[in-house]
Amino acid sequence: MDPLHAWTGVLFGALLFAIFLMGTLAVFDREIDRWAQPHTRVAGARGATGAPLRLDTALPHLQALAPEKAAFWLIYPPSERVPTLRLSWPAELGRGVRDLDPATGAALPEQGAPVGTQLFYPFHYNLHLKWANLGEWIVGLAAMAMLVAIVSGVATHRRIFRDLLALRPGRSLQRTALDLHNLCGVVALPFHFVITLSGVVIFIAVYLQPAIGWLYDGQRAAYAKEVLSRYSRPPARQAATQPIVSLDALAERARSHWAAAGEPGEVQLVIVRNPRNAEAVVEVRRAYERRVGLEAGTVYFDAASGELLHAERLPTASRVQRFITGLHMVQFDHWTLRWLYFAMGLAGCVTIATGSIVWVRKRAERHARLGLAGAGWVEALNVAAIAGLPLATVGVLLLNALPTSWWAGNGDPLTASMSWFFGLWAGSLLHAVLLRRGGRHWFQQCAAVAALAAADVLASSLGSADAWSHPAALGVNLALLGVSAGAGHAAWRLRQRSAAGARAFAGAAAGSAG
């Protein structure tokens, strides 16, 4: 079991750290958006006059912003965590996004990009590799490796509960890392197992594509209708001749339908399928705040006449899958549990990082004596994952705290953010590889993370008046200060360790010369 546990960590450690870190950030993805986009920190769904929100105000904006052949329009009504009326549509890279003032329906001036919901969160589950669902397959493989590592880790560390109480921060780096590995691994063990297993269950339809294709004879629409209770119809060969009916009226009918079924709720999302086609369909989905399972209770209407076409009725197996999905995605309104998910996610990051560090430290000296380069390459990969990914994260946040024209020009801020993010990450990997023999890569990248996180807070404070009064902005700024302090302390300890090693080497050399 020990070799299985070790080599699973070596082969998948860097990838698992990235997935866990992005998943941990995704717990507060909407709050990160509020930090990066100060213009979205509006009062809420009602203006000074108390006038109710009108979803219909979104339609003219979507007509103007979305491409002519856009397959769908998305309209997100305001909520506690996202107070704007948010519009989205398919774009060349990902989705286009625009926020409206919920009180007036006016478009808000763009500032920054929704990096929380559109960069960090998708990276968690698909690595932004969308071709043939490649990213989801890779993440699923990593999740299976994580399950193997959890089971083999429990079998390997037979004295794990005794070692749990033995945290020795004053000892060597390797001993401290191993103690942290045991502590975080044991404390968060049930969470790590459930969150990893549920991550596999979420995309079970992706991983079982061959079986679904065989069972339904390649008819994906039949599978979606029977198992997921979805409704779809092919677009007509002619453009729409009538305007889309009132979305506000359809939303009210959806609320009445949910109340009659004994499951009342507010509207989470409105989707207009094939919006410029004669066979356009409007989907209205229910919000998840009051339930664990992601059962949207979707109702489908004809966009031209408002006729009710279909109401979602999930079979039992799909309801179980949606409940497990809800456990993983923590969309329900419970801030204590949300913070617990965040803490357990950080514990997972520490477990993976310290396990990788211990493996390299155990083999570094032996590999150096034998002239082997394996440990050095693995350590460079660890540096790029454990220090480089946070560096890219705080770096792209810094850009979004600065005027958009400085770093995105006239282009799309989200596309530019993605380019900068992956560029910074690639730069950290190159830096780690080039300095893998000198041992300075850990110190320099930790120091860079500390400096950039502090710069994030400074730029946010100077760029927006409510940086320390808005709850989301305050929370992210406090977290960034914690990152800066933690990375700065790590850089200081690494600098001390490097200096002590250099002095010991010099003393040994002088003794040999004497």
Q: Residue 60 above 50 pLDDT?
A: yes
pLDDT value at residue 498: 65
Over residues 362-393, the pLDDT tens digits come to 777 676 666 666 777 888 999 999 999 999 99
Question: How far apart (Å, rounded) are the C-alpha atoms in residues 92 and 114?
Answer: 16
Question: How far apart (Å, rounded) are the C-alpha atoms in residues 137 and 156?
Answer: 28
End-to-end CA distance of the chain: 48
Going by pLDDT thresholds of 50, 70 and 90, the confidence category of residue 12 is very high
pLDDT value at residue 248: 95
281-286 and 267-273 as β-strands: parallel, antiparallel, unpaired? antiparallel
Q: CB-based burial of residue 319 (10 Å sphere; 0-12 exposed, 13-18 middle, 19+ buried)?
A: middle
- Give pTM, 2 decimals: 0.91
Q: Are 112 and 400 in contact (CB under 8 A)?
A: yes
Instruction: Output the average pLDDT for the chain.
Output: 88
Q: Residue 47 above 80 pLDDT?
A: no
Q: Are 85 and 102 in contact (CB under 8 A)?
A: yes
Over residues 471-480, the pLDDT tens digits come to 999 999 999 9
Q: Are 299 and 311 in contact (CB under 8 A)?
A: yes
pLDDT value at residue 150: 93
Q: Are 23 and 345 in contact (CB under 8 A)?
A: yes
Question: How far apart (Å, rounded) are the C-alpha atoms in residues 181 and 347?
Answer: 9
pLDDT value at residue 407: 92
Q: Are 19 and 144 in contact (CB under 8 A)?
A: no
pLDDT value at residue 146: 96
Over residues 269-320, the pLDDT tens digits come to 999 999 999 999 999 999 988 889 999 999 999 999 999 999 999 999 999 9
Going by pLDDT thresholds of 50, 70 and 90, the confidence category of residue 436 is confident
Closest Cα partner for 246 from 51, 50, 58, 45?
58
Q: What is the DSSP string of 52-77?
A: PP-GGGHHHHHHHHS-TT-SEEEEE-
Element (H, E) at 335: helix 335-370
